[in-house]
Structure 1
Amino acid sequence: MRVLSFPNALDIAYELGGLGPVSQVEERVFPDGEVLVRVPEADEGVVLVARLYPSVNDNLIKLLITLDALNDMGVRRIVLAIPYMPYARQDRRFRPGEPISSKTVFKLLSQLGVSAIVTVDLHKEYVAEYAPRVLVRNVYPAEEFAKALPNVDVVISPDFGSVRRAESLAKALRVPYTYFEKYRDRNTGAITLIPRQELDLRNKSVVLVDDILSTGGTLVEACRSARTLGASAVYAAVTHCQLLKDARERVRSCVDRLVCTDSILNEFAEVKIGPVLRGELEVVL
């Protein structure tokens, strides 16, 4: 199969070595902001690599019109490799009148002839159910994080929502894991995070896991709680590091070391996502 890539994802495309020849989608932006793409060549089967962050909305439109162009060219099988799936956090209707944005994205992709999607660390795995006709492979890079952070005693999720990530990394490291529960003092309003399991963190090195680091508030709160409970070192393994506003400074104020993937390009990206995607694509193809 041919590997087709948008310009901002060529680094990942070339890490998919052996899957097929690599071609680049041509892009053009008109003065009014509208975008145009051109697919130079395609085979009957295509692996399309799309890094959709940042400029999520523009990149989603580029992806959709590229998929339509591939359909018009008669491509019979389209497999998407999307390191970071945008809009996945809107996985349910939080208030009346809101869309389920993750459903919208998956529905559009399924309607444009996508056969399979390989993505990394969806915010909630069940959003893949919004594309029932599409094979969705969601991979969490536990082994890669474990190699980057080998000397850890305990894995902690900052809340119950990331406990599956903590469990996966703990299994790779062969250490225990837990997650924090949030308690608020009714008199002072102060928030305290307490481990769900009775684990002694005194003089232990711990690693906090999460899927997205945006402003850093949750991560820093969890880090401070781990310090209060006696942790000697606090690391963080985060898959998608957006690092918005003053997140870098906030995280550095508490966390000893931050390890991210390059699903979103950043200076803490020690884990290459291309080989992770390649392993899943070999299964799909």
Structure 2
Amino acid sequence: MIRGTVMIIGGRDLIVSLPGAEELGSRISNLLRCEHVTPYTKVFPDGESYLRLKGDFEGKEVTLLSTMYPEQNRRLIELVFASKTLVARGASKVRGVVTYLAYARQDKEFLPGEVVSARIVIDMLKYAGIGELYVVDVHKPEILNGFGGPSRNILMVETFASFLRSRGVDNPLIVAPDLGASHRAEALAKEIGGECVIIRKFRDRVTGEIRHELPEGFHIDGRTAVVIDDIISTGGTMASIVSFLKRSGARRVYALASHGVFVGKAVERLISGGADEVAVLDTLSRRVEGVTYLDISHELSKHLNSC
């Protein structure tokens, strides 16, 4: 757990935690010593969502905390509803803090007519009146450029580094599954003091089989490897890399990710592939057995104080 001094948000500020983010919001409000509000919510028999925000928001700066998994569609509409309502009730600023941004992986049109969901979601949040947007490890940070206002992609490297130190990990090899994940691996390597490497992936054109390689000059015999990505979904990619690293001589392999979606038998796939431990941030409300969840409240609180 990240420790250290946490400054106090000004007396006019408060945190509103939407469904799924209540526990995290409570921890953050305790650290920042500010008011914490949770809306009354229910689902009508036809599936539509109802929210009611009680309290005086006139002239106040509100941090609106949300996570969008599970139930992505409902969580997204709740965030839009809540922000529009806060603005209508006189909030001077709504700061959106989204620990998991749904629909972020479709960031471009690969086939004609495909919906670019990441861009549309960002537009929805702008429309909702969110003035500042802070997201925990979004899949493609570039999508925040379309927000138009202050925004930040937050990498929780202090939290990951603290976890690894608690396990006695020293001078690890931090592994990025691909080039797109290199910024995350490089940041963690800098924080904990280790080497960073990007795995090379090759697909056999005949069989379709995927094989991995380490860049020339990297040796892993007897070392601890840490594979880090933004999301573990089915676990297939991560498991294949973990297995490759173990076959290459790694003594221990940790499988880390910011967001643990864990579809189907993802955790079992990782463990059978050779992962010594699977650890993710507590950015989602869902919990899966066999996974270590890392508390982000301390590091996220520090980021909110620097906004």
The two structures share one fold, judged by TM-score above 0.5 = yes
1:138 aligns with 2:153: yes
Once structures 1 and 2 are overlaid, which stretch shifts more, 267-276 or 232-241?
267-276
**In structure 2, what is the equivalent of residue 239 of structure 1?**
258
**Stretches of structure 2 lacking an aligned partner (at least 5 in a row):** 1-12
Pairwise CA distance, 1:98: 1.1
- Say whether the 8 Å CA contact 2:61–2:94 is kept in structure 1: yes
Residue among 44, 50, 54 paired with 1:40: 54
Q: Secondary structure at the match of 2:306?
A: helix
Q: Give the residue type in structure 1 aligned to 2:220.
A: L
Name the aligned partner's letter for residue 18 of structure 2: F
Q: Are 1:102 and 2:121 matched, yes or no? A: no
Quick check: 1:206 aligned with 2:220? no
Tell me the matched-pair count: 283
Map of 1:266-285 to 2, 5 A cutoff?
A: 266-267=287-288, 268-284=291-307
- Verify the 8 A CA contact 2:161 2:188 in the aligned structure 1: yes
How far 1:247 moved relative to its partner?
Answer: 0.4
Select which of 186, 211, 216 maps to 2:235: 216
Instruction: Say if 2:158 and 2:299, in contact at 8 Å, map to a contact too.
Output: no
Moved over 2 A (4+): 184-190, 265-270
- Alpha-carbon distance, 1:188 to partner: 4.4
The Cα shift of 1:269 comes to 4.1
Give the TM-score of the pair, scaled to structure 1.
Answer: 0.95
Shift of 1:197: 4.9
d(CA) in 2 for partners of 1:206 and 1:76?
47
* 1-structure distance, mates of 2:278, 2:244: 17
Counterpart of 1:260 (choices 270, 275, 280) is 280
- 160-169 or 274-283, larger mean C-alpha shift: 274-283
TM-score between both structures, scaled by the size of structure 2 = 0.88
Q: CA RMSD in A?
A: 1.5
1:188 and 1:89 map into 2 onto residues whose CA distance is 27
TM-superposed deviation, 1:130:
1.5
8 Å contact from structure 1 (residues 119, 277) kept in 2: no
1:100-140 deviation digits (Å, cap 9, x = unpaired): 111111111112211111211111110101211x2111111
Alignment partner, residue 24 of structure 2: 12
SS of aligned partner of 1:68: helix
Q: Is the 8 A contact 1:193 1:225 kept in 2?
A: yes
Q: Give matches, 1:10-159, under 5 Å.
A: 10-16=22-28, 17-18=31-32, 20-43=34-57, 44-132=60-148, 134-150=149-165, 151-152=169-170, 153-159=172-178
* 2:183 counterpart (159, 164, 170): 164
Structure ranking higher on relative contact order (CA contacts 8 Å, 6+ apart): 2
Identity among equivalent pairs (%):
30
* Shift, 1:201, TM fit: 0.9
- Cα offset for 1:186? 4.3
CA contact (8 A) 1:120 1:140 kept: yes
